[in-house]
Structure 1
Amino acid sequence: MIIKIPSIFHEVFGKRQSVIQLIGILLFGIILTTLLFIYDPSIYYDISLWRTIVAFLFIFDIFSGCIANFTKSTSEYYANNKKKQLIFISIHFHLILVAILLGTSIWSAILVWIYTIICSFIIIFLKKDNQIFVGGFLLCTGIAGIPILGMESFMMIVSMLFLIKVLYSFSVNHYQNED
């Protein structure tokens, strides 16, 4: 079943979305974020509750957005408005904010963020026929490079999904050849 998304949520889900996809997006975000916090509770032991909650919400956004951006509705919403796409990428400081909030690898997070943002802009300005290949190439290069940065496993997971979300899931028009 397809439902019309309220305009306030168009940037997240597009204009129309399948109920199954909405449930999948939210479950992925909630379950994976919760499991990550359960897996490594030491990451937030020494910080205030408000910082933990805000970091949890940013990570939930990264994880959910990673999946949401693969949906046809969200992909088409941004493919039809390059200005909104550029703004979306430009405001994505989530990874850096998570590192600051949790007191982890700030320089590694900044390097991943810079790589992600630069590659995302490159992909957006490519001809659509080249986006999937170049996006996949840059994604694989980034994923291969993240472990070299020596960050905590918690931040490595968040960084990799941030990279997937912004660089590949969001920046590549995956439905470009459909009518």
Structure 2
Amino acid sequence: MIKIPKFFHEILGEYQSKSALVIIALFVLISGAAAGIFGYDEWKGLSLVKQIVTWLLFLDIAGGVVANLTRGTDLFYNQHPKKRWIFIAIHIQPVILAWSMEVPLYYGVTIWIYTFIGAVFLNFIRESPFQSLSAGSLTGLGLLIVAYWGQTLPFLVSVLFIFYIFKVLFSFSVFHYKGDTK
């Protein structure tokens, strides 16, 4: 296990395996390249500031999709319940993404509110045997919304909304390593 510097604990936990770090990096690089290529026509005309914001959001969201599934991150947030609540409260990326990609703000606000309410609910039932099942259901319903909107939203926005919902509702909110202490 690799000891993670304190500055990165909220992203990767206190410890990570080498293989987990490699998988996180590969997922971010491959999904970023694919999204960048497939969505090029949608983001190339944005101002430089909006392009930078969009790609920083991509790094954060895509990295979290995988990092939040790791033992290190899962156990870190289990041991720090206050930080778990802060994580849920500050993740307003869909609203920022709607601005940076110049789509109507209500798309981002709706995804954020839905995900926020779902994450709060899942945090309250953290010890329930139905938490994972509930998270899967809430994630699936959120993906259904994005799939429907995907008919009118740019590809890159749809991808990031999907990643965001999965990241917060399933990767982060589910206590994947119950019974594991370190």
TM category (shorter chain) comes to: over 0.9
Alpha-carbon distance between aligned partners in 1 of 2:43 and 2:155, rounded to the nearest angstrom: 14
**1:75–1:174 contact (8 Å) kept in structure 2:** yes
Q: Which runs of 5+ in 1 are unaligned?
A: none
**1:105–1:152 contact (8 Å) kept in structure 2:** no
Aligned to 2:49: 50
Q: CA RMSD in A?
A: 1.4
**Cα distance, 1:49 vs structure 2:** 1.5
**Cα distance, 1:148 vs structure 2:** 2.2
**2:126–2:174 contact (8 Å) kept in structure 1:** no
Letter in 2 for 1:169: S
The alignment covers a number of residue pairs equal to: 178
**Cα distance, 1:130 vs structure 2:** 2.2
Aligned to 1:165: 167
What does the per-residue CA deviation read over 1:56-95, in whole Å, with 9 as the maximum and x for residues that have no partner?
0111110011100000110010011111001011111112
TM normalised by structure 1 equals: 0.93
**1:108–1:151 contact (8 Å) kept in structure 2:** no
**2:77–2:83 contact (8 Å) kept in structure 1:** yes
Alpha-carbon distance between aligned partners in 2 of 1:46 and 1:126, rounded to the nearest angstrom: 44
Q: Which runs of 5+ in 2 are unaligned?
A: none
Provide the identity percentage.
31
Aligned to 1:75: 74
**Cα distance, 1:127 vs structure 2:** 4.5
**Cα distance, 1:46 vs structure 2:** 2.3
Alignment of 1:9-88 (within 5 A): 9-88=8-87
**1:59–1:98 contact (8 Å) kept in structure 2:** no
Are positions 1:94 and 2:96 aligned together?
no
Call closer, same or farther: CA 1:111–1:21 in 2, change over 3 Å: same
Aligned to 1:148: 148
**Cα distance, 1:50 vs structure 2:** 2.5
Call closer, same or farther: CA 1:126–1:38 in 2, change over 3 Å: same
**1:13–1:68 contact (8 Å) kept in structure 2:** yes
Alpha-carbon distance between aligned partners in 2 of 1:30 and 1:97, rounded to the nearest angstrom: 22
Alignment of 1:132-147 (within 5 A): 132-147=132-147
**1:14–1:73 contact (8 Å) kept in structure 2:** yes
Alpha-carbon distance between aligned partners in 2 of 1:156 and 1:57, rounded to the nearest angstrom: 16
Alpha-carbon distance between aligned partners in 2 of 1:36 and 1:96, rounded to the nearest angstrom: 19
Letter in 1 for 2:53: V
TM normalised by structure 2 equals: 0.92
**Cα distance, 1:104 vs structure 2:** 2.1
Alpha-carbon distance between aligned partners in 2 of 1:45 and 1:178, rounded to the nearest angstrom: 45
